[in-house]
Amino acid sequence: MIATKSFVNSVENPEQNVNNRIDDEKRKNIIRNRHIVKCVSKAILFCGRQCIAPLGDNEVLNEDSRGNTGNFLAALQMIANHDDILKQHLDNIQLSSSNITYMSPLIENEIIEIIGQDMILKNLLEEIKAAKLYSIMADEVTNHNKEQLALGARFIDKNNDVREDFIAFIHLPRITGEVIGETIVSTLQGLGLEIVNVRGQGYDGAANMSSDNVGVQRRIRERSPKAVYVHCSGHCPSLVISHSCALPQFRNVIDKLKRCYLYFLGSPTREGLLQSIITKAIPKASSRKGLIDMCRTRWAARHTAYTYFYQAYPYVIAALKNISCGANHEMCGDEYQDAAWDRKSKDDAVALLASLATFDFLVSLLVLYEFLCHLSGVTVKLQGQSIDIIKAYQEIAGVKRTYNERASKMDEEFAHVYKQGWQLGKEVGHRVVVKSFAGATTSDMSHYVKPTLDKKPDQIILHAGTNDLGKLSPSEIADNIVDLAREIESSTDAQVIISELVTRSDLSDSGDVDAVNKRLRKFCNQRQWHFILHDDIHSTDLNRGGLHLGETDLSVLAPGLLCLVQSMLCDRTGPDLPNADEIINTYKGDPPSPEFLRQELLRFQIRYSLKPKEDRPNTAAKALKECNDDLFPNIYALLKICATIPATSCEYEEVRVL
């Protein structure tokens, strides 16, 4: 009878069955453990997204433990404050020596591997494969005596948005073009990406990456001929600046600035003195540093350091005078009124003061500062992920136009710089006197200069000889100027600076001027005199040393590919339309029906010529968004290639493995 009742009860109430009760407890335990693993994964994701180290110096959950438990455990404890199941789990760990914690380094690494490889990378590779065409960007770096390569991909996703995503870190046994190229190819093949679908490559200008004979770009193009190589647009302006700053005047300025930065930033006391002078003069600037260090890798990024120095120049001079001879006490903060400086600090201050407090330094600094400002903004834009080759071209073309415009008005520009230098020098006690003698020849100047020499100036800039043109030969004019400079040098301690001749508007032939300047430059090099050039900054400087910013850089692309963007296409008519045959030959196999490309171009142009100019897309990314792939399938395919080609690889310079 009892057995019968037990049977009936088990049928009517199966949840009371012993086996079922055991299974139910097991199921609850599984759900509980999954919940804990989910919380652990959230904490790991939090550390990853915030780019913070998960481990601390004491990985023990104990109230009596000392030290930092690390970001991972701290995040778990934060989650536990709002999660009863996790809180109970953490409390049990502290009360017992349970081995099942799900928080060991092995479990953490396993979860990181699953998230990175089986989820993030897997989804990313599926998106790249769906896009089919993609570009690669890479940058190699030495880190902890290991050569590593950061590899990324640029592609168009299903929403027609331009994407740039990191793919992998690769260990490099060597950094030759052959090894890096083969490593990239094997990595792409291992990830299941077709190398023939690569349409662009973005690297820096190092020979192992950019060489057309032995570089990585050549190795990739051997397997994918359509993979256009683009020299990182973020590097190009830096290289242009580097070449421009190789001129002796600017190189000397940069060396002096470095010494000044090291002098103040290398001593908390000296830096504090400078900061106290700035704070006392400008109370609102108390939170701003007087000087910042110069960037050691990117020349364009130094413009911020130049800005700080330019704005702090009067206070830098005041601080140096205070350290060297005790002057300007009224400008210093109270804590520095009776400061005592050691002999080395005084000697270094005297040397710096002598080099910074010259008109030659001021003028060169202002030329460097003002003319490089045009590149400071564009270099930031060129480092963005979303920028495409069209936008990069437009930005650089705008800078080129600016420099060409400034070069055409060089006299006006130099007069502005000269006036600024005079005003800045006046603030720190300099006095610049300009004397002109209309119609005077070089021989006349030997008499006119004597009253000036009696006043014992620090520097004398000679700008003479123009009135001798047409009367004397170039060699005679140059010799007379040199003789005058020698006479000044022998009778005074003033520094002699010679200014080159400028072509007169009333003289049709500038050959004599060039001959005089060439001879003067030779004399100045021999005598170690400064020689002021009036064409220091010229539009051709942007292409010095083989650096082609603009059309030449883009000549590697199929002619006309850039003109598919509506704003450019609508400005062309008839024979100026992009050459459809040439585009098709370059990107054979990419457009679905290339025989209709020219007709599509005509329809595409007519469609957007009816729109106002301000409504026409001006970048490949915007053009792709508006292009209907059903109406214009060939143009759509080519715009995807154009938007896929990278403009910069700067993002991958910042990537490091610790």
Q: Which fold has domain 113-231?
A: Nucleotidyltransferase; domain 5 (3.30.420)
153: β partners:
136, 165
Number of other residues whose CB lies within 10 A of the CB of residue 499:
18
571, pLDDT greater than 80: no
Percentage helix, strand, coil for the chain under 3-state DSSP, each rounded to 5: 60, 10, 30
Q: What is the CATH number of domain 435-532?
A: 3.40.50.1110
250, pLDDT greater than 60: yes
What pLDDT, on the 0 to 100 scale, is given for residue 555?
39
Number of other residues whose CB lies within 10 A of the CB of residue 129:
15
Q: Residue 493 has which token pair?
A: 């301690």
What pLDDT, on the 0 to 100 scale, is given for residue 551?
35
Task: Say how far apart CA 480 and CA 157 lie, in whole Å.
Answer: 71
Task: Say how far apart CA 355 and CA 346 lie, in whole Å.
Answer: 14
597, pLDDT greater than 70: yes
- Per-residue pLDDT, averaged over 605-630, amounts to 78
Calculate the alpha carbon distances from 525 to 364, 418, 478, 498 in Å.
18, 24, 14, 11
Positions of E strands within 18-76: none
Which carries the bigger pLDDT value, residue 596 or residue 70?
Answer: 70
Q: Residue 544 has which token pair?
A: 């010095």
Give tens-digit pLDDT for 51-108: 888 877 666 666 555 566 788 888 888 898 888 888 888 888 765 655 678 888 888 8
What pLDDT, on the 0 to 100 scale, is given for residue 127?
92
What pLDDT, on the 0 to 100 scale, is given for residue 134?
92
CA of residue 100 relative to chain centroid, distance: 48
263, pLDDT greater than 70: yes
Task: Say how far apart CA 610 and CA 214 lie, in whole Å.
Answer: 49
- Per-residue pLDDT, averaged over 490-498, amounts to 78
CA of residue 358 relative to chain centroid, distance: 32
Per-chain mean pLDDT for the chain:
76
Strands 146-156 and 134-143: what pairing? Answer: antiparallel
What pTM, to 2 d.p., does this model score?
A: 0.55
What pLDDT, on the 0 to 100 scale, is given for residue 126?
92
Task: Say how far apart CA 101 and CA 109 lie, in whole Å.
Answer: 14
One-letter amino acid identity for 344? K
Element (H, E) at 137: strand 134-143
What pLDDT, on the 0 to 100 scale, is given for residue 657?
42
> For a pLDDT cut of 90, what percent of the chain falls above it?
5
Q: CB–CB of 139/649 below 8 Å? A: yes
Q: CB–CB of 295/318 below 8 Å? A: no
175, pLDDT greater than 80: yes
Give tens-digit pLDDT for 455-482: 777 677 777 777 777 788 888 888 888 8
Q: CATH 3.40.50.1110 spans which residues of the chain?
A: 435-532
Task: Say how far apart CA 3 and CA 17 lie, in whole Å.
Answer: 14
Number of other residues whose CB lies within 10 A of the CB of residue 17:
14
- Find which of 34-38, 145-149, 244-248, 384-388 is predicted with most confidence, using mean pLDDT: 34-38
Q: CATH 3.30.420.40 spans which residues of the chain?
A: 113-231
